[in-house]
Structure 1
Amino acid sequence: MKPSRIAQIGIPAAIVGVVIMMVVPLPTQLLDVLLAFNMGFSVLILLVAMRVTKPLDFSIFPALLLLATLFRLALNIASTRLVLLQGDAGQVIESFGHFVVGGSIVVGLVIFVILMIIQFVVITNGAGRVAEVAARFTLDALPGKQMAVDADLNSGLIDENEARRRRKEVSAEADFYGAMDGASKFVKGDAIASVIITLINLLGGFAIGMLQNGLSAGESIQKYSLLSVGDGLVSQIPALLLSVSTGLIVTRATTENDLGTDLLAQFGRHRQAVMIAGAAVLALGLVPGLPKLPFILIGAILLALAFRLPKEGAEVEPEEIPEDLPTTPQKDSPMAIAQDMRVEPLELELAYDLIDLVDSAAGGDLLDRVRALRRKLAQEIGIVVPLVRTRDNLDLPPRHYAIRVHGVEVARGQAPAGMVLAIGDDLDQLPGMVTQEPVFGLAAKWVPAELREHVALASSTVVDRSSVITTHMAEVVRVHAAQLLSREDVKMLVDMVRQSHPVVVDELTPAPLSLGEVQRALQGLLTERVCIRDLVRIFEAMSMRAKVSTDPDGLVESARGALGPAIAASHAVDGRLSVITFEPLLEQRLMESLRPSEQGVFLAMDPLLAERLATEAGRVAALAEANGDPPVLVCAGPLRLPIRRLLEQAAPRTPVLSYAELGGQLTLVTSGVVNVAEVTAA
């Protein structure tokens, strides 16, 4: 039969057979075979437990321990039935009752009690305690291990497949130790059951022999009690082997070798200790009154072994490392220090009480959302967002998170555990902590998660903690996209365009534009939140402009001219574009104030007038946005860039477009007019 068929049919059938054994009488010959199988199977489990290099190599052990315990108890029931009904339980039990203990009921009981003490008091209690502590420590360390895996993935040290394998291994380790914590109770219960079954056999056999079979007290004890003790010993020895296997599994630290190899290797490192032990045993052989031969023999063997061991501190031949295997730098090596010095482009730091957000076992999905966010932003702004390094920061206050760009903290927020963010106007009646939505500054309140449905019924928007953090990070990436676009990213984008449009790239770089100049132009577009996905048209426009001038502002404006309709469409809602314009006379005054300089065109106007202009434009834009129509400010082409720079502080969210960029496919709706004269009159 194929192994797959055995697994699907044979093993379940065997388990059902074990249950049937508890109610169906067995012939003595079959019981002998099953008892021998139980003994051999227990020895096999012990040997496998000694050979594994880490507990997960024997992950089936908790379930196997349950099945072996059930099988042994079924054999106890079957043998008890035969002992009490027939006074004969087969040759195996009879041999243990007569030959092993010399036919003495007292000796048998003493050996049985000693085995019980060894198993129950020493091995089982110790293994149970170790399993409990190991399960607790493993579960406590689970979030940190998963964060380490995700940090390696985000930093590019491992790929997605390796990260998935490591996460599975970490989760399996936690499940294994949790199962071992419960499985150790099987061993303890089995020890208690063995005592009870043996006592029942002793009392029941004595009563049956005297009352039913008419035997004397001595004959009844000789016949039934020895069989009961033999039955107890036959079942107790496999139980002891399984208890030892349990102890080996839960105390086994993860190493590269099996138990025997590690034992010899680690003792072999302590030559002086072996030598002192041999001398001490040899000295005991010289003590008057003690037998000399055993102590002298053992002492001599230990001394001979010590002289064959390598001296402590001696150099050991290093193992040859294949050249194709990556080497991990030493902790204090220059390479390791250099890696620690590296500043990540984008980092997310979490306070200690926010670790549950990245713990998949606790339902945390923040890391998955961050990965999905990178893909979404790539489609939205046209660059590959750097890997986000996520780590904990004990210096952060509780409930807080921080976002860093090139090592500088650019944003900070809160995400208290057990709460959701309610955004709306009528939040006074809700319990919780008053705050502001981190992206748009809207009135909000952190409320208990249990009130999620109640808040939703109150027409308020409910946002979970992971969504708050990812939304905040998305806005940070949009604002700082220009800083996140590295020279390597530009090289990758240029090579990507070269594959499909080689002529466009050949006309652009390395002449007339260098890679650095292309990077500055693309950063200028990203600063104004222009998507740079359409690189072919951007590069075509920039190459044409570069024949006249390589001025960065001119390159940006030429690219915007090529992307104009797409830029306007990105700010429209259902084909409607809400626009703000300047009062015609004011716009004419601004045109007359334009002056060229080495840094580009600027507005040569009175500082007080410039301040009033920025304030009024910000006020009109905020009023239009409050009415639900996010506006754009439209002006003449030469004014666009100077006005954009003027409004960076007063209206950072208001895009500035030129008339040429509007195109003819949108319906324009005027949302306001900027007029400084009205402000002056007021």
Structure 2
Amino acid sequence: MAISTKNVQRKILGNTDVLAAFGIVGIVIMMVIPVPTTVMDILIALNITGSVLILMLAVFTKDPLEFSVLPALLLTMTLFRLALNISTARLILLDADAGDIIQQFGLFVIRDNAVVGFIVFCILVIVQFIVITKGAERVSEVAARFTLDAMPGKQMSIDADLNAGMITDEQARTRRRAIQQEADFYGSMDGASKFVKGDAIAAIIILFINIIGGLITGVVMKGNSITEALHIYTILTIGDGLVTQIPALLISTATGLVVTRAASEANFGEELAKQLFRIPKALYLTASVLVVLAVLGLPRFPMFLLAALSAGAGYYLQKNTTATAEQETAAAKATEIEEIKKPENVMNVLHVDCMELEIGYALIPLVDAGQGGDILDRIVLIRRQVANELGFIVPVVRVRDNMNLKPNQYLIKIKGAEVASGELLADHYMSISSGIEDDSIPGTPTKEPAFGLDAKWINASYREQAEMSGYTVVDAPTVLATHLTEVIKSHAYEILNRQDVKKLVDHIKEQAPAVVEELIPDLLSLSQVHKVLSNLLRERVSIKDLATVLEALADNSALTKDIDRLTEHVRQALSRQIVQPLLDEQKKLKVLTLDPVIEQMILDHLKPSDYGAYVNLDPQVIQKLIQVIAVQVEKIMLKGHSPIILCAPVVRINLKRMMERQLPHIVFLSYNELVPGIEVEALGMVVMNNES
């Protein structure tokens, strides 16, 4: 049965790794086993072909990483040439015949003149060893060093672009991978260049060994005269040297071309033509110099010919540049008109960034890495911190300057709406009071934006004095980063959108596919899961353990579809995670309890609606309840305890929503969230008098 050409080709291409392994083993075997002259001719021709191919690839390569196999290929070709040298040396010394290619090459290049051939060979070796190989090695060494030194800066630049929304996560990964490959490539080239240098040294040594060994073999063993032996073996040896050193020179040139292509955007020929012939004035001046040299006495024909070609090229280039510029201007105007007409441009205007940080012009140095600003790097760390603490990926925070703001002002926006703002003095420090004021430290009074603490902006010269006086001293970038972190945590439930939930669910599906397949969409829709997760984030409950969250929803969604009730069931499943951070040093949970009368009052006034249940109490009663809770909370906070109120599960979420506007810092726990083994200590009870 005949095998098609495509099948043969597919089998060969599918086993290139095996062919490469056999090829390297074959090269090593060549050094030991004698090779017939006919086979030697084929191998020498293969060496020349491979060297020319590598040089052509180097010329047409745009980016060094496109030829990333070059270091390994360089080693392989060097090993191949050494194997050829050893095999031809064996044939020369044993049979005085190394094949037709070496014989013809020696006669053609050196014209049967051993002295000329020896000189040509030495010149080739010197050019390769001292000029090309040494230069390529130095370029590789410097490039590897500078590439490694520049890696942190490039990584930071990628993070900044990612954080600014200029690139996607996939593009960032691709760019990071390219940086690593670039460093590995130049490091490998630095080492591979030394193989070529060693090859040149080995060629010189083999040359002298062949000549001396040939003389001994010819005179002592074959009875030739010294002149005859010198003629035969010298021509063969030099022909052998030339036939291997010329391919070596081609590969060295290719190596130099690749490692010197640092900032290329096209292949060597395109860049050469584009950059050499881009300025007509330079060509005119070149033509003028050539004419002057011809007048002063140099041969006129070549000088005038080249002067005419230079002037003609300059004229053609100038005319073509003018025409191209006019065409580009007309095309740009036409494109601009077409772009304006496109409806997509209107759609781009409708895009709203999920998170934005707008800054006044005086705060630009905090963002500009060139001026030492590290806000973009801090935002990357904030996103990582929030992901670790709350369990979801904060979207890219787009940072932009706004000339309409005050110079020192900044705004934090979520979905286009301002949620927080503040003012910074970029060259000052904020000293936050610990309760003891030191009037000897001058400064501008202010409020710490994240938590509203009393503070003042002080000059850098007073920083040490403020720290010794008990103030907490932070720089402006830290103030901004802290405020941004607090805003993200406080509004996480708004930031989390349906698409984010889809990504989180898809991610957890790889680890726990059973619970996801059971829950979505048979028991709950993605939107219902989203609402539960938003409820959790609203009270800063981490959703990092998403598998447990989904399992709790799957267990209870058959009983109820009410989002608030489902949220309480999930909180119960996460109770250890919720309660653990609230314990004091003695591992006790110190709480305020709620009078059962208040709990019953809230339960009696719960009213269902399309948007969930709500408490239908008289506003005056609600205000009185808020005041009572505020008084009790203030008492325990003065004693150094965290404000935690313990109540019934159904009451908990509704009471939290009643209090969160005026008392957002209070933690509300339900009895179902108490972890077994945790000691609970009641610090007091919230009670309303009969007048309410």
CA distance in 2, matches of 1:228, 1:572: 84
Q: CA deviation at 1:291?
A: 2.8
Asked if structure 1 preserves the Cα contact closer than 8 Å seen for 2:356 and 2:398, the reply is no
Listed one character per residue, the Cα deviations across residues 481-520 of structure 1 (whole Å, up to 9, x for unaligned) are: 33455589599999x9xx989xx999xxxxxxxxxxxx9x
Matches within 5 A, 1:360-375: 373=388
CA distance in 2, matches of 1:605, 1:114: 98
Alignment partner of 1:294 out of 287, 299, 302: 302
Alignment partner of 1:216 out of 225, 229, 240: 225
Tell me the secondary structure at the aligned position of residue 310 of structure 1. Answer: helix
CA distance in 2, matches of 1:63, 1:126: 19
Tell me the secondary structure at the aligned position of residue 242 of structure 1. Answer: helix
1:78 is the counterpart of 2:87: yes
1:24 is the counterpart of 2:38: no
CA distance in 2, matches of 1:157, 1:68: 43
Alignment partner of 1:193 out of 202, 207, 224: 202
Asked if structure 2 preserves the Cα contact closer than 8 Å seen for 1:271 and 1:310, the reply is yes
What is aligned with 1:241?
250
Q: CA deviation at 1:273?
A: 1.3
Q: CA deviation at 1:287?
A: 2.6
CA distance in 1, matches of 2:289, 2:577: 91
Tell me the secondary structure at the aligned position of residue 682 of structure 2. Answer: strand
1:91 is the counterpart of 2:100: yes
Matches within 5 A, 1:37-48: 37-48=46-57
Give the gaps of 5 or more residues in structure 2: 1-7, 340-347, 360-365, 400-411, 415-419, 424-480, 505-519, 550-561, 581-587, 603-616, 687-692
- 2:394 maps to amino acid: V
What is aligned with 2:634?
614
CA RMSD of aligned residues (A): 5.7
What is aligned with 1:655?
667
CA distance in 2, matches of 1:599, 1:305: 93
Higher deviation after alignment, 33-42 or 295-304 = 295-304
CA distance in 1, matches of 2:328, 2:621: 62
**Gap change, CA 1:291 and 1:408, over 3 Å in 2:** same
Alignment partner of 1:251 out of 255, 260, 266: 260
CA distance in 2, matches of 1:339, 1:132: 48
Alignment partner of 2:318 out of 303, 306, 310: 310
Q: CA deviation at 1:666?
A: 8.3
Tell me the secondary structure at the aligned position of residue 205 of structure 1. Answer: helix
Asked if structure 2 preserves the Cα contact closer than 8 Å seen for 1:271 and 1:311, the reply is no
Listed one character per residue, the Cα deviations across residues 213-265 of structure 1 (whole Å, up to 9, x for unaligned) are: 33333222211112211111111111110110000000113434221111112
**Gap change, CA 1:168 and 1:559, over 3 Å in 2:** closer
Alignment partner of 1:104 out of 113, 117, 120: 113
- 2:592 maps to amino acid: T
Q: CA deviation at 1:185?
A: 1.1
Tell me the secondary structure at the aligned position of residue 592 of structure 2. Answer: strand
CA distance in 2, matches of 1:175, 1:92: 39
CA distance in 2, matches of 1:97, 1:293: 36
Q: CA deviation at 1:307?
A: 2.2
**Gap change, CA 1:566 and 1:300, over 3 Å in 2:** closer
**Gap change, CA 1:123 and 1:666, over 3 Å in 2:** closer
Asked if structure 2 preserves the Cα contact closer than 8 Å seen for 1:112 and 1:233, the reply is yes
What is aligned with 1:674?
684
TM-score, structure 1 as length reference: 0.61
CA distance in 1, matches of 2:195, 2:383: 39
Q: CA deviation at 1:137?
A: 1.9
Tell me the secondary structure at the aligned position of residue 23 of structure 1. Answer: coil
**Gap change, CA 1:370 and 1:573, over 3 Å in 2:** closer
Tell me the secondary structure at the aligned position of residue 318 of structure 2. Answer: coil
Tell me the secondary structure at the aligned position of residue 318 of structure 1. Answer: helix
Tell me the secondary structure at the aligned position of residue 69 of structure 1. Answer: helix
Asked if structure 1 preserves the Cα contact closer than 8 Å seen for 2:575 and 2:673, the reply is no
Alignment partner of 2:61 out of 32, 52, 59: 52
CA distance in 2, matches of 1:128, 1:197: 23
CA distance in 1, matches of 2:683, 2:76: 82
- 2:681 maps to amino acid: S
Q: CA deviation at 1:580?
A: 2.4
Asked if structure 2 preserves the Cα contact closer than 8 Å seen for 1:119 and 1:240, the reply is yes
Alignment partner of 2:137 out of 93, 112, 128: 128
Tell me the secondary structure at the aligned position of residue 262 of structure 2. Answer: coil
Tell me the secondary structure at the aligned position of residue 190 of structure 1. Answer: helix
1:231 is the counterpart of 2:240: yes
- 1:169 maps to amino acid: A
CA distance in 2, matches of 1:144, 1:270: 35
What is aligned with 1:377?
391
CA distance in 2, matches of 1:55, 1:505: 47
**Gap change, CA 1:367 and 1:28, over 3 Å in 2:** farther
**Gap change, CA 1:313 and 1:613, over 3 Å in 2:** same
Tell me the secondary structure at the aligned position of residue 328 of structure 2. Answer: coil
- 2:668 maps to amino acid: V
1:143 is the counterpart of 2:152: yes
Q: CA deviation at 1:671?
A: 1.0
**Gap change, CA 1:598 and 1:583, over 3 Å in 2:** closer
**How many residues matched?**
517
TM-score, structure 2 as length reference: 0.60
CA distance in 1, matches of 2:109, 2:81: 20
Q: CA deviation at 1:51?
A: 0.7
Q: Percent identity?
A: 36
**Gap change, CA 1:646 and 1:568, over 3 Å in 2:** farther
**Gap change, CA 1:184 and 1:366, over 3 Å in 2:** farther
**Gap change, CA 1:601 and 1:261, over 3 Å in 2:** same
What is aligned with 1:431?
none
